[in-house]
Amino acid sequence: MFELQGSKVERGVFEYQFTKPVPFFLKWAVAIGPIWGRFLVLGILLGTAYLAMRREPLFWIMAQGYNALEAARIRELFINALLLVAIVVFFSVRLFRQEKLSLTFDRPKGLFRMRREGWFTPRPAEESVLSLKALTRIETHRNPNPVAEPKRPKDFGYIEIGWEDQNKAKAVRVRVLSEEQFKIIPTNLETLSGVEKTSV
């Protein structure tokens, strides 16, 4: 579920920015990012080129008690393992990102914008620009017993925002991580959209 990352106001335009926690097996790829990921891949490839072209690594392996044939096989296995790591890193940082959601309320123009970037990079972002009147509901779902998970803040519940887009009902849920957020976010949304908030 999405969690509040930040907000900004500029000339009557209010924007909420949300992100989704990254799955544990992709955290390293998102943390590295596409730019540093390329540098890492380049470093790995330079390392494999050194192992393949220079004789010093082979001599070092032989010095550990292996004969020439065994040393050559160990070097080849290590080079292949590094190439596999380079491939995994390259495609991971290129294909995956943190999922983001942006909700913008443009009061002067009476518009509501929703932009959602999925975790799979090649998939285009989903974007809608609608009238504020398209918003249909703001529901607060409170967790009566907030419990903190390991390395995670307490889960106080969530807010569901619904709207109509081309005669289709759509909605998004955002997690609330503090009592303060439960007081501020629904009230702000109600003020910005003109839709009365409800508790479920």
Strand partners, 126: 116
Q: Is 169 helix (H, G, I), strand (E, B) or coil?
A: strand
Tokens 């998102």 label which residue? 30
> Confidence band (pLDDT; 50, 70, 90) for 148?
low
pLDDT reported for residue 43:
95
25 phi/psi in degrees, rounded to 5 = -80, -5
pLDDT reported for residue 152:
64
Interior CA angle at 66 toward 61 and 68, to 5°? Answer: 85
- Does the pTM of the predicted model rise above 0.85? no
pLDDT at 153 over 70: no
Interior CA angle at 14 toward 8 and 15, to 5°? Answer: 65
pLDDT reported for residue 123:
87
